[in-house]
Amino acid sequence: MKNRITRKNPIQAPSPVGNYSHLTIIPKDATMYALSGQIGVGQTGELPSLLTEQVKNTLKNIQIILETEGLNTDNVVKANIWATEEIDWDDFYRQWETMFGNPYPSMTIAYITALGLPDIKIEIDIWAAK
């Protein structure tokens, strides 16, 4: 298929330590989409206190924004994730798997001391291509 985004884990490199791909190849004629960092605020403006609930809302917000441009998770090429507290990986990967399936997009994760507002515990920005 022309203009296909390809995700790879080269056998020469160690296997990923999580649910991500080491390499995502974007066709040269693809349109790139950069989403601002999305947070766990709900549709009515509430921000849950639990990180797992913020993850759920954040992923839903990403999906909504992708859909407004006729995109889906197959178009996601990179996710940058910042968290202010330790992520419950079992819960996170369950939600991640439900949203993305395999092969996964490329990913960077960092723990930081604070995000834009004091109650935000996770922020995810997305790069997509079509």
7-29 pLDDT tens trace: 889 899 988 888 889 988 898 99
Q: Can you state the angle between helices 51-68 and 89-100, rounded to 10 degrees? A: 20
| pLDDT (0 to 100) of residue 103 | 87
Q: Which residues of the chain have pLDDT under 50?
A: 1
Task: Give the CA dihedral 89, 35, 123, 77, nearest 10 degrees.
Answer: 20
All structural domains of the chain, each given as residue ranges with its CATH number in brackets, are 32-129 (3.30.1330.40)
Check if the beta carbon of residue 88 is closer than 8 Å to that of residue 51.
Answer: yes
What is the reported pLDDT for 1? Answer: 41
Tell me the pTM. 0.88
> From CA 115, how far away is CA 97, in angstroms rounded?
25
Q: How far apart are CA 64 and CA 32, in angstroms?
A: 17
